[in-house]
Chain A
Amino acid sequence: MLNIKDLHVTVGGEEIIKGLNLSVGAGEMHAIMGPNGSGKSTLGYALSGRDGYEVTSGSVQFDGRDLLELEIEQRAAAGLFLALQYPVEIPGVNNAYFLRAALNAQRKARGESEIDSMAFLKTVRAELAQLKMDEALLKRAVNEGFSGGEKKRNEIVQLAVLQPKLAILDETDSGLDIDALKLVAEGVNRLRDGKRSFIVITHYQRLLDYLKPDHVHVLSDGRIVESGDRSLAGRLEREGYAFLEPGEA
């Protein structure tokens, strides 16, 4: 699904990702952990194509295509989704309208027909109910006046409606209380169909307890320094990141 080779990313003239390799197969869930400033969010933005995140070398294959050749919206249409750590407010733009416009733009780019309004509403409403979100949020402006938890859950609604091939969740668990965390984790688990892949960026083992990722990687100073199974997350939680750089410890 995703194959990253020797990726280098520069932000504002400073190299943040310094030769990262990662391969994510179809249906797999990979967790990426690591200390602040290690490049976790940068990885998500660089894969999405955000301006200012300059890929200086390396390659990224996504679903058989050269991801780095694509514009931001083309990556989205190709099936890449990034749930933002800080979802953005768009005043005056109806949340449901935004979501439908996004879905139809993607469908159009893929040569598919526009979605039927009724079918769309049905999907969205079902997802809202499962995430225990007030339907009134559909009529409000995108993320405007949403609580932190509502914003994060709104990202999961988008994820569920847009049905990407690969979803990157950037600290979707931060700022969530335990009940909301559970709802979000359940929302993500419902989307695991054996084909869809996930990259979950997080600081905490708690979310991973619910999601049970197949692989856990530790990112430090722009490189993956350790990979393992779910037990690695437990070790990090107990010991912190100090063991990563024994030379300096």
Chain B
Amino acid sequence: MNQTQQQVEQLIQSRYKAGFYTDIESETVGAGLNEEVIAMISARKSEPAWMLEWRLKAYHHWLGMTPPNWAKLSIPAIDFQDMHYYSAPKQKDRPTSLDEVDPKLLETFDKLGVPLHERARLAGVAVDAVFDSVSVGTTFQKELREAGVIFCSFSEAVQEHPELVREYLGSVVPYRDNYFACLNSAVFSDGSFVWIPEGTRCPMELSTYFRINARDTGQFERTLIVAEAGSEVSYLEGCTAPMRDENQLHAAVVALLAKKASKIKYSTVQNWYPGGENGKAGIYNFVTKRGDCREDDARISWTQVETGSAITWKYPSCILRGDRSSGEFHSVALTHNRQQADTGTKMIHLGKNTTSKIIAKGISAGHSQNSYRGLVRVAKRAEGARNYTQCDSLLIGKTCGAHTFPYIESANRTARIEHEATTSRIGEDQLFYCRSRGLDEEEAVALIVDGFCKEVFKELPMEFAVEAKALLEISLEGAVG
């Protein structure tokens, strides 16, 4: 290896800017999973009895399940008895304002570019910050309350709005749904809860920032967004974790429920620690995300930029129940070094004249494997359903892989389903062209990749689009050469 190559390798190793660790005293529930642990989590959160019952039902169901093995992923065996299911920074019970929050926690989010204190708050974006198993604080609560919007941590929602939580919990993603969703149902710790009242357009972007900090701890968050008839909300999610020597599990459930003519837009920039260059450590990201367009003319749109995690298993889906409801999925999934991603979507057309659109962009570099897996299903009664899928893969270098697994099932003759797929390599001619005009190799790769992702980036809110672009550039450092 020559000197420049070594420098490039060093760059890759240091590219994960969120890899720091916050030294803070935590209360962690002992390793292992059993009824007692679940009861303890529920007790810590002073949950009502029905909540604990639901958790235990999920746990017992989970015991009889086996991990899914159909994805194109090589997943090392996970010892579920060897990890911790709850870890929370020690602090006063439920701080009533950010003044009572440990400054170290505020500092952590500051460093991650998500300031929570009054002066530096992100303009026009309300943030719920989740640190390991608990929510640290939610900004702009007062302003949102005035609009009738509920935006709080899931734990708080269980206390303050039990009737809403009870009504919708498990109604989009039942606890039986799949192995990881079921595990989450048993042990979920925190997450965000959003409720938008009828006819209300949420006055600002809502956002949750998830941070894993503790060692050997899984993060199991749960987010539930309910949009009443005619309402509208845009929600952003960001995630990071310190660089660790061992793998950590993140198994989240996100459920969106869109009622009549409402609109939910959900964007994710996922930047969990991807592991080292040789595939050592990193986050296992097994996530269930589902949106239910339960009534007519409802619209749900998923946008995701996935650059982190050692393994990503994630298929944000839309169930298009209402007539004329529509689902969209815009995705950029980037894998480098030894990362593996198997990600895509499911569009289930049940209502008449439902429409869905899928734009999936996969970028593979290094020795990574990147798969798109997507299902478009049209039920018999879904007269006039339409789907358009575009699935593009970009390869950087010769040692990575890109795979596409489209599944199309149509039981209605009037359905129109289009699927386009391309695979290309960053061409030497493109690199030469850019460099001959003065851009260096990394600038050239970033520019070409940015162009490749353009259709997805334009779906992201402005601040996120800039962040996503920068993240992609950092993640690709040293990918060529």
Which residues of A does B touch, CB under 8 Å?
Answer: 48-52, 71-73, 75-77, 81-82, 84, 87-93, 98-99, 101-103, 105-106, 109, 141-142, 158, 162
Enumerate chain A residues within 8 angstroms of B453, measured Cβ to Cβ.
Answer: 92
The interface residues of chain A lying within 8 Å CB-to-CB of B447 are 90, 93, 98, 101
Set of chain A residues within 8 Å of B430, measured between Cβ atoms: 88-90
For residue B361, which residue of chain A has the nearest CB? A92
B440 touches A91 (CB 8 A): no
Indicate if the CB atoms of A101 and B443 lie closer than 8 Å.
Answer: yes
A98 to B443, CA, bound (A): 11
CB pair A106–B438 under 8 Å, yes or no, is: yes
Q: Is B440 in contact with A73, judged by CB distance below 8 angstroms?
A: yes
Q: Please measure, in the bound complex, the distance between the C-alpha atom of A106 and the C-alpha atom of B434, giving whole angstroms.
A: 12
Q: Is the CB of A141 within 8 A of B439?
A: no
CB–CB B451/A102 < 8 A: no
User: In the complex, how many angstroms separate the beta carbon of A154 from the nearest chain B beta carbon?
Assistant: 12
Question: What 1/0 flags go to B446-481 for Cβ under 8 Å of A?
Answer: 011011111100000000000000000000000000
Kindly provide the distance from the CB of A123 to the nearest chain B CB, expressed in whole angstroms.
16
Contact yes or no, B432 A50, CB < 8 A: yes
CB of A103 within 8 A of CB of B451, answer no
Q: Which residue in chain B gives the minimum CB-CB distance to A89?
A: B430
Most B CB within 10 A of own CB, among A52, A93, A98: A93
Q: Does B436 contact A (CB under 8 A)?
A: yes
- Chain A: minimal CB distance from B392 (Å): 9
Which 8 residue pairs spanning A and B have beta carbons closest together? A92-B451, A93-B451, A102-B437, A106-B438, A92-B454, A88-B433, A72-B435, A76-B438
Whether A73 touches B435, Cβ cut-off 8 Å, given contacts A88-B427, A105-B440, is yes
Q: Which residue of B lies closest to A104 (CB)?
A: B438
Knowing that A50-B436, A105-B443, A142-B451 touch, tell me 13 more A-B residue pairs with CB under 8 angstroms: A48-B432, A50-B432, A72-B435, A90-B448, A90-B451, A92-B450, A92-B451, A92-B454, A101-B439, A102-B437, A105-B440, A106-B438, A162-B437
A88 → chain B, closest Cβ, in Å?
4
Query: When the two chains form the complex, which single residue of B428, B437, B455 contacts A158, counting CB atoms closer than 8 Å?
Result: B437
CB contacts (< 8 Å) of A88 on chain B: these are 427, 429-430, 432-433
Report the Cα distance A51→B452, complex, angstroms.
23
Kindly provide the distance from the CB of B100 to the nearest chain A CB, expressed in whole angstroms.
45
Task: Please indicate the chain B residues that have their CB under 8 angstroms from the CB of A91 in the complex.
Answer: 451-452
With A88-B427, A88-B429 given, is the CB distance from A76 to B451 under 8 Å? Answer: no
B21 CB to closest chain A CB (Å) equals 35
Q: How far is the CA of A120 from the CA of B147 in the complex (A)?
A: 45
13 A-B pairs, CB-CB below 8 angstroms? A51-B432, A71-B440, A72-B432, A73-B441, A76-B438, A77-B438, A81-B436, A87-B433, A90-B448, A90-B451, A101-B447, A105-B437, A105-B439
Counting chain A CB atoms within 10 Å of each CB, the highest count among B435, B441, B448, B453 belongs to B435
Instruction: Specify which chain B residues have a CB less than 8 angstroms from the CB of A106 in the assembled complex.
Output: 437-438
Q: Given A49, A84, A90, A109, which contacts B438 in the complex, CB threshold below 8 Å?
A: A109
Please report the C-alpha to C-alpha distance between residue A81 and residue B435 in the assembled complex, in whole angstroms: 11
**A76, B436: Cβ atoms under 8 Å?**
yes
Q: List A contacts of B455 (CB < 8 A).
A: 92
Which chain B residue shows the least CB distance to A76? B438
Report whether A90 and B437 are in contact in the complex, using a CB–CB cutoff of 8 Å.
no
Q: Which of B429, B435, B441 contacts A76 (CB 8 A)?
A: B435
List of B residues within 8 angstroms of A76 by Cβ: 435-438
Contacts of A101 in B (CB 8 A): 439, 443, 447
**CB neighbors of A among B347-402 (8 A):** none
Closest CB of chain A to B369's CB: distance in Å?
Answer: 24
CA distance A99 to B447 in the complex (A): 12
Q: How far is the CA of A11 from the CA of B453 in the complex (A)?
A: 34
A residues less than 8 Å from B450 (CB atoms): 92-93
Q: Give chain B nearest CB distance to A105 CB in angstroms.
A: 4
A237 to B452 alpha-carbon distance, docked (Å): 45
Nearest Cβ distance between residue B284 and chain A, in whole angstroms?
32
Give the contacting residue for B428; candidates A51, A73, A90, A92; CB below 8 A: A51
In the complex, which residues of chain B have a beta carbon less than 8 angstroms from the beta carbon of A50? 432, 436
Chain B residues near A48 (CB-CB < 8 A): 432, 436
The answer to whether residues A73 and B433 also contact, given A88-B427, A90-B448 and a CB cut-off of 8 A, is: no
A98 to B439, CA, bound (A): 10
Cβ of B432 to closest chain A Cβ, rounded Å: 5
Contact of A82 with B436 at beta-carbon distance under 8 Å, contacts A88-B427, A98-B447 already known: yes
Bound-state CA distance A227–B452 (Å) is 46
Expressed in whole angstroms, the Cα–Cα distance for A50 and B432 within the complex equals 6
**Closest residue on chain B to residue A92 by CB atoms:** B451
Closest to A75 in B: B436
Residues A73 and B451 in contact in the complex (CB < 8 Å), given A90-B430, A90-B433, A90-B434: no
With beta carbons under 8 angstroms apart, the residue of B436, B451, B452 that contacts A72 is B436
> Whole-angstrom distance from the CB of B111 to the nearest CB of chain A?
28
Residues of B within 8 A of A103 (CB): 438
Complex CA distance for A72 and B450, rounded to whole angstroms: 22
Question: B438: which A residues are within 8 A, CB to CB?
Answer: 73, 76-77, 102-103, 105-106, 109, 162
Give chain B residues whose Cβ lies under 8 Å from the Cβ of A49.
436
| Docked CA distance A237–B448 (Å) | 42
Residues of B contacting A102 in the complex (Cβ-Cβ under 8 angstroms): 434, 437-439
Give, as a whole number of angstroms, the nearest-CB distance from A155 to chain B: 10
Chain B: which residue is nearest A161 at the CB level?
A: B437
The chain A residue sitting closest to B427, CB to CB, is A88
Q: How far is the CB of B125 from chain A (nearest CB, A)?
A: 26
**Nearest chain A residue, comparing its CB with the CB of B441:** A73
A141 to B451, Cβ gap below 8 A?
Answer: yes
Task: Collect the chain A residues with CB atoms within 8 Å of residue B432's CB.
Answer: 48, 50-51, 72, 88
Closest to A77 in B: B438
